[in-house]
Structure 1
Amino acid sequence: MKAVVMTTPGKPEVLQLQDIPEPKLQTDRDIVVRLHAAGVNPIDTKLRNRGTFYPDDMPAILGCDGAGVVEAVGSAVSRFQVGDEVYFCAGGLGKSGTGNYAELTVVDERWVARKPKSLSFTEAAAAPLVLITAWEALYDRGRLAAGQTALIHGGAGGVGHVAIQLAKIKGADVCTTVSSQEKARLVRQLGADEPILYKQTDFAQAALDWTEGKGVDVAFDTVGGQTFYDTVPAVKVYGDLVTILEPDYNIGKLKTARSRNLRISLELMLTPTLQGLVAAQEHQTEILEQCAQWIDEGKLNIHLSQTIPLPDAVSAHQAIESGSTTGKIALQTA
């Protein structure tokens, strides 16, 4: 089969299209999926640049997100049959026999959900990682509830654009940071109540003004760095600040957070996979099942900004690393 493989860490050009053996069922719970598309995420570019979580398993196939059609099933598989259309976030972290920048992949059926009927395969492949990340950050870590307010950074980005919609589904009011008027229009279409042009405005002060000085109930940081600390004064006393980036641990900078009694949460949706936490992985599958229902009901949309052929994976990584993409990028594998 055709697959995009990395044999060493480095720049995007280390990604090479190769012919490799087709993957085989490893356990009786596995399914073989003929991939139609693979999502491209920032984690892919980081692993390509610095090395995977399994450096001894090189060469590696990247890509956590996939969507396709079930081609074979193990003897104990009960949830799927040949011909089913599925989507999932599994593999792609460097472990041998996994990854979705390919024509075929093998996945444990427990980590797989039925593809939303209303989405194309490329749209579906762009969805899983960002849906799980936003859900866990807002619902599980931040405990967002109806009637609350949320500040979501990078609202036009991959995680941000679904986070806005999940917050609105929950019944919250949303302000979100964007870099341009074009992106402000997009996030309004997604349901955001207050776009904040952060290049022109102090976003923390804008959030305070929007909440009449109280601060937001939940802030979701998808940017990291100084943005994490600059967000602290925008959160209400006893509020929640959730980040998907590892903060620069500076105790002095956390004084304001401590004085406001903030609950700070770190969100990493890869933890269940990396630590083999079966119940947590099954929860992530349930997230995809519920989101598929909302997508088919028209409550949730995936903004796919670019579809790139599998052989051009290098250009997909270059686009991600430019930092200027909107929504999601997917590789068309079939």
Structure 2
Amino acid sequence: MKAILMTAVGDPDVLQIADIPDPTIQSPTEILVRLKAAGINPIDTKIRVRGTFQPERMPAILGCDGAGVVEAIGSEVSKFKVGDQVYFCNGGLGLHQGNYAELTTIDEKFAAHKPKSLSFEEAAAVPLVLLTAWEALYDRANLQSASISPNVLIHAGAGGVGHVAIQLAKLRGANVCTTIGSEAKARFARGLGADLTIAYKDNDFVEAAINWTKGEGVDIVFDTVGGKVIEQSFPAVKICGDLVTILEPPADISWKVARTRNLRFSFELMLTPMLLGKTALQVQQAKVLSESAALFDTGKLKIHVSEVFQLADIAKAHQLLETGSAIGKIVISI
């Protein structure tokens, strides 16, 4: 099969297309999937620059998100049959083959039936960002439907995670404000249901959030940016509110405001089940993907794919992602 090999740590040109042996089913509960598309995520570029989680196993195939067609099944597979269309987040960290390839294997427990209404490219864009936003809002911040709509601030609402988070928050009845970097991104976020867009380059997002909530602060801040934005967000959260981040806080962060306001601070890393081998959590993530398929098929959720590249153009896809200018997701068509 053809696959993209990460041959070393470095710039996008370390990603090289090559012919390698086809993977084969190794356990009775595995399925062999002919991949039709793979999602591109910031974790891919970070691994390319910093190295995989098992650097001794090189070259590596990146790509956590995949969508394709079941081509063969193990003897004990009961969830899928040959010809089924599936999507999943699995591999790509250097521990298991990723999805920048024509074929892959995956345990049936970790895959879900693809939403019927989505193309393979759209489906491949979904898993990592959906699971990240779902776990951050619903599990970490415990966002629930309530008689009084909670107020949520989502940073970078036009990004991959952010644009899904806006929709998930609205599904639970929340009022949503979001930071954006351009008028085009503001229009996009409003089209997804954002009640207020904050042009962070020209406005103080804390002041805007405080004014929006009549001086109280938002119930939840979901940070997808990291760096100084984490600390800057503390005063935007109401007393005893929640802040969830998908990034590691800077070493010099001051927690004084967060402590004074009794904030609950949570981390969200949807890759934890894969990294630590927590099978039960991976199964739960597959259940979320199954549940979400119905949301896509009934029009309650949308995924936005801004660019589709061919497998051989993976370097260009990484270069675009690293500019930070893309709206929604970037995908590789296989």
Q: TM-score range by the shorter chain?
A: over 0.9
SS in structure 2 at match of 1:224? coil
Structure 1 position 250, deviation (Å):
3.4
Query: How far, CA to CA, are the matches of 2:287 and 2:193 in structure 1?
Result: 24
Unaligned runs of 5+ in 1: none
Partner of 2:86: 86
Query: How far, CA to CA, are the matches of 1:283 and 1:233 in structure 2?
Result: 34
Partner of 2:265: 264
SS in structure 2 at match of 1:75? coil
2:235 equivalent among 233, 236, 240 = 233
What CA deviation, in whole Å up to 9, does each residue of 1:218-254 have, x standing for no partner? 1000000000011100000000000000001336x11
Structure 1 position 329, deviation (Å):
0.4
Partner of 1:55: 55
Aligned residue identity for 1:290:
E
SS in structure 2 at match of 1:68? strand
Partner of 1:103: 102
SS in structure 2 at match of 1:273? helix
What CA deviation, in whole Å up to 9, does each residue of 1:62-84 have, x standing for no partner? 00000000000011111000000
Query: How far, CA to CA, are the matches of 2:205 and 2:144 in structure 1?
Result: 23
Aligned residue identity for 1:108:
D
Partner of 1:202: 204
Aligned residue identity for 1:121:
F
SS in structure 2 at match of 1:265? strand
Q: In the comparison of the two structures, how many residue pairs are matched?
A: 331
Partner of 1:127: 126
Structure 1 position 94, deviation (Å):
1.1
Query: How far, CA to CA, are the matches of 1:141 and 1:250 in structure 2?
Result: 24
Query: How far, CA to CA, are the matches of 1:162 and 1:50 in structure 2?
Result: 27
Query: How far, CA to CA, are the matches of 1:4 and 1:193 in structure 2?
Result: 41
The residue correspondences of 1:110-149 to structure 2 (distance < 5 A) are 110-146=109-145, 147-149=149-151
What CA deviation, in whole Å up to 9, does each residue of 1:76-116 have, x standing for no partner? 111000000000000011125x1100000001111100000
Query: How far, CA to CA, are the matches of 1:249 and 1:10 in structure 2?
Result: 25
Query: How far, CA to CA, are the matches of 1:259 and 1:50 in structure 2?
Result: 36
Unaligned runs of 5+ in 2: none
Partner of 1:212: 214
Partner of 1:190: 192
Aligned residue identity for 2:29:
R
Structure 1 position 324, deviation (Å):
1.1
What CA deviation, in whole Å up to 9, does each residue of 1:239-286 have, x standing for no partner? 0000000001336x1100000000000111110111111111111111
Partner of 1:64: 64
SS in structure 2 at match of 1:187? helix
What CA deviation, in whole Å up to 9, does each residue of 1:290-333 have, x standing for no partner? 11110001000000000000000000000111111110000001
Partner of 2:280: 279
Partner of 1:244: 246
Aligned residue identity for 2:102:
E
Aligned residue identity for 2:318:
H
Partner of 2:45: 45
TM-score, length of structure 2 as denominator length:
0.98
The residue correspondences of 1:288-307 to structure 2 (distance < 5 A) are 288-307=289-308
Partner of 1:314: 315
SS in structure 1 at match of 2:176? strand
Partner of 1:156: 158
TM-score, length of structure 1 as denominator length:
0.98
Query: How far, CA to CA, are the matches of 2:194 and 2:290 in structure 1?
Result: 24
Query: How far, CA to CA, are the matches of 2:239 and 2:251 in structure 1?
Result: 21
Give percent identity, aligned residues only. 62
Aligned residue identity for 2:252:
N
Query: How far, CA to CA, are the matches of 1:239 and 1:210 in structure 2?
Result: 16
Query: How far, CA to CA, are the matches of 1:70 and 1:149 in structure 2?
Result: 42
Query: How far, CA to CA, are the matches of 1:15 and 1:183 in structure 2?
Result: 30
Query: How far, CA to CA, are the matches of 2:290 and 2:195 in structure 1?
Result: 27
Partner of 1:166: 168
Structure 1 position 143, deviation (Å):
0.7
Query: How far, CA to CA, are the matches of 1:95 and 1:311 in structure 2?
Result: 23
What CA deviation, in whole Å up to 9, does each residue of 1:108-131 have, x standing for no partner? 111100000000000000110000
Q: Supply the RMSD in Å over aligned alpha carbons.
A: 0.8
Query: How far, CA to CA, are the matches of 1:281 and 1:165 in structure 2?
Result: 23
